[in-house]
Structure 1
Amino acid sequence: MFKNILLFSAYMLFPIGSIMAQNNTLQWDKTFKKSDKVNVKKVSFYNRLGINIAADLYTPVNINTNQKYKALVIGGPYGAVKEQAAGVYAQAMAERGFITIAFDASYNGESGGSPHYTASPEAFAEDFSAAVDFIGTLSYVDRNKIGAIGICGSGSFVLSAAKIDSRIKAIATASMYDMGRVARNGMYDSLTDEERKKMIEATSMQRWNEYQGGEKQFQIGTPENIDENAPDIVKEFYSYYRTKRGFHPRATTAMSVISSISLMNYYPLENIDIISPRPILFIAGEKAHSRYFSEDAYKKAKEPKELIIIPNANHVDLYDRTDLIPFDKLEEFFNTNLTNKNN
């Protein structure tokens, strides 16, 4: 059954014109309600690849800029934008006294990078470090007390970043996807060697096609229309990305076919043990199709580590269901671990 549910590795081909994002001119352009306990402003900064990263900076309304605060950098799901799940987490943690940043990944949303909708695990991990660069220079941030949260695909990228950036003192993931594993093996490791070879062959030929002026092709994580026969996983993502609940015009969930294949060479859990003694918190839904990614990552990580399973939650519930996302636990985790003893 799941051989055809290869989200993020099955190739759904669309011309570029059908997935171009629209402009959003609303003053509050998020998919969630604005808190009166938090101030938000747009900021930008460059990563080491020279890509301008667009971000939203969240601060408590009662901030004292003469003090030093703990800070968090937050990356959202693969193909999503900062106005969605990453912003939900950023706002909630700012309400709890943290300085937070939700950012658009390179080649996505309002961030730079050309061509847009390019998948680059290197750039996506680098974006976390670039956010640390920026937030650590704010006068009211204690640069020795910076943590990071990665949601869905960014759960992979934040781990990659933390492996080589010791400034990230504590890491949390929510509904983590191992983006390399799912690209190589499909959901539930159901992809056969023959199917993988066919994907690689098709992508290889597409490179020549595009080099010679052919139409660019894109892999769409969540289709714009589904019917009752769609697989449950597709329905789940559709319930967030294509409905009023989580729809945002800049979140196309698209990545170019010839760049997406690069995820097959991506191994975010290799050497995850070198993050220790910095702590990692893995959060997954009890009913999440992605739960096994967090469980396997937890097994590979060294102490200190923790795995929390949220009762009755599916994968996308941990994008925006504030009644299910364990913000109390996240607050405790970062307050406990972003301390001078861990520097």
Structure 2
Amino acid sequence: MSHIKTVTYQNLGWETAADIYLPPGFDDTKRYPAIVSTHPIGSCKEQTAGNVYAKGLAEEGFVVLVHDASFQGASGGTPRFIEDPAIRVSDIRFAVDYLQSLPYVDATRIGAIGVCGGGAYTVHAGITDHRLKALVSITGVNYGRLIREGFAQFKPLELAGNIAQMRTAQAQGAERDVANLLPESVASARKAGITDIDVLEATDYYKSARGQQPNGATSQLMSFSGAAMGWDAFTNAEVLLTQPLMVVIGDKPGGFGAFRDGWEIYSRAASANKHIIVIEGWSHYDLYDKPEPVAMAMARVVPFFKDNL
């Protein structure tokens, strides 16, 4: 069994909370390859990036650090529930810093994995942080594209105007409005006429005993989302993304766009060693925790990390 150790370490002006999953028979006099695991948007370290992927990788001999995003979960930073891609990527860099400070981590053998938004954040971190030696994106979603398209209902200028109004009002004393990104239940989503597989399955994961965790808030301070609108996870991938890369997607596309984003980064990456794994018959949220598709993904991910770290 892997063992979990909870730690905190300094981020910019606040502290990050993280869980370190240690391999079976862990010996702190040895040096291990390590992996940073990054959670989805609206998620936390106890969910899929932690209790599924970090746990599975630790059982295969890796030290895996899964952190709560800044402003979210048990990590510090205010205001709460900011989702700023630049800071989410910076969080990964701080995780690498922390891993490199540990005597039982081989600082030259650090990789990264992320799920959903965390998958694209992982890719973006790898584009500019070459301390990361191998990258895995599990059903990764380019959050900049998603907010300009799906979140904005394909009216990005309208959303930019709304964000400007909210931020102005709040600067002048209005309450900060934290939006819940998902319906309260699958039943209420269906009642509202929602048919998109990703929204329905996200609600099933986050709003039921299946995936629910106290800090998996699925909430966002929308007035601070302007930064995300101008961001793109894959900028400069053709030039700077040279590390070994594995992209895992399900073949049942949904509104969050992991299928198309997966193919896009696979085609754009400059990496000579790159792989796209399409898990047939399964969806975005199946890859969060369903044993069969997760096992199919891990059957490729584990050897990939063992070969490249």
TM surpasses 0.5: yes
Q: Which residue of 1 aligns with 2:252?
A: 287
Question: Between the two proteins, what is the percent identity of the paired residues?
Answer: 32
The AA in structure 2 aligned to 1:139 is: P
Query: Please, which of 294, 310, 313 is the counterpart of residue 282 of structure 2?
Result: 313
Query: Please, which of 63, 67, 78 is the counterpart of residue 26 of structure 2?
Result: 63
Report 1:117-196 matches (<5 A).
117-186=81-150, 191=154, 195-196=155-156
Q: Which runs of 5+ in 2 are unaligned?
A: none
User: In 2, distance between residues paired with 1:190 and 1:242?
Assistant: 23
Query: Please, which of 257, 262, 266 is the counterpart of residue 298 of structure 1?
Result: 266
The AA in structure 2 aligned to 1:263 is: A
The AA in structure 2 aligned to 1:246 is: G
Query: Please, which of 166, 176, 194 is the counterpart of residue 230 of structure 1?
Result: 194
User: In 2, distance between residues paired with 1:199 and 1:117?
Assistant: 18
The AA in structure 2 aligned to 1:126 is: S
Aligned length in residues: 297
User: In 1, distance between residues paired with 2:239 and 2:58?
Assistant: 29
The AA in structure 2 aligned to 1:236 is: E
Indicate conservation of the 8 Å contact 2:163/2:224, yes or no.
no
Q: Which residue of 1 aligns with 2:169?
A: 209
The AA in structure 2 aligned to 1:85 is: T
Q: Which residue of 2 aligns with 1:328?
A: 299
Indicate conservation of the 8 Å contact 1:183/1:261, yes or no.
no
Indicate conservation of the 8 Å contact 2:16/2:68, yes or no.
yes
Indicate conservation of the 8 Å contact 1:288/1:313, yes or no.
no
Q: Which residue of 2 aligns with 1:32?
A: none
State the secondary structure of the residue aligned to 2:281. coil
Query: Against the structure 1 CA distance between its residues 227 and 73, is the aligned structure 2 distance closer, same or farther, given a 3 Å change threshold?
Result: closer
The AA in structure 2 aligned to 1:80 is: S
User: In 1, distance between residues paired with 2:207 and 2:194?
Assistant: 14
State the secondary structure of the residue aligned to 1:311. strand
The AA in structure 2 aligned to 1:250 is: N
User: In 2, distance between residues paired with 1:235 and 1:263?
Assistant: 24
Displacement, 1:276? 4.0
Per-residue CA deviation, residues 61-98 of structure 1 (Å, 9 max, x unaligned), is 30122221111010010110000011111111000000
Indicate conservation of the 8 Å contact 1:276/1:304, yes or no.
no
Indicate conservation of the 8 Å contact 2:41/2:117, yes or no.
yes
Displacement, 1:238? 0.6
Indicate conservation of the 8 Å contact 1:86/1:103, yes or no.
no
User: In 2, distance between residues paired with 1:223 and 1:110?
Assistant: 24
State the secondary structure of the residue aligned to 1:323. helix
User: In 2, distance between residues paired with 1:267 and 1:277?
Assistant: 18
Indicate conservation of the 8 Å contact 2:84/2:227, yes or no.
yes
User: In 2, distance between residues paired with 1:146 and 1:178?
Assistant: 23
The AA in structure 1 aligned to 2:200 is: K
State the secondary structure of the residue aligned to 1:312. strand
Indicate conservation of the 8 Å contact 1:45/1:54, yes or no.
yes
Q: Which residue of 2 aligns with 1:91?
A: 55
Query: Against the structure 1 CA distance between its residues 275 and 336, is the aligned structure 2 distance closer, same or farther, given a 3 Å change threshold?
Result: farther
User: In 2, distance between residues paired with 1:272 and 1:220?
Assistant: 32
Displacement, 1:107? 0.6
The AA in structure 2 aligned to 1:119 is: E
User: In 2, distance between residues paired with 1:57 and 1:201?
Assistant: 41
Displacement, 1:46? 1.6
User: In 1, distance between residues paired with 2:100 and 2:138?
Assistant: 23
Displacement, 1:279? 0.8
Displacement, 1:190? 6.5
The AA in structure 1 aligned to 2:279 is: I
Q: TM-score, normalised by structure 2?
A: 0.92
User: In 2, distance between residues paired with 1:181 and 1:211?
Assistant: 27
User: In 1, distance between residues paired with 2:98 and 2:8?
Assistant: 9
Q: Which runs of 5+ in 1 are unaligned?
A: 1-36, 339-343
The AA in structure 2 aligned to 1:337 is: N
Counting helix residues as a fraction of each chain, which structure ranks higher?
2
State the secondary structure of the residue aligned to 1:324. helix
